[in-house]
Amino acid sequence: MKKLEILSWIVGLLGFALVVTGVALFSIPLGCIIAGILLLAYARLADKAAAAMPAKPEKI
pLDDT at residue 30, rounded to an integer: 94
How would DSSP label each residue in the chain?
A: --HHHHHHHHHHHHHHHHHHHHHHHH-HHHHHHHHHHHHHHHHHHHHHHHHHSPPPPPP-
pLDDT in tens, the chain (60 residues): 688 778 888 888 898 899 999 999 999 999 999 999 988 888 888 888 778 878 777 777
pLDDT at residue 52, rounded to an integer: 81
Task: Residue 41: name the closest of 49, 22, 24 by CA.
Answer: 49
Answering whether pTM is above 0.85, one says no
pLDDT at residue 22, rounded to an integer: 93
pLDDT at residue 1, rounded to an integer: 62
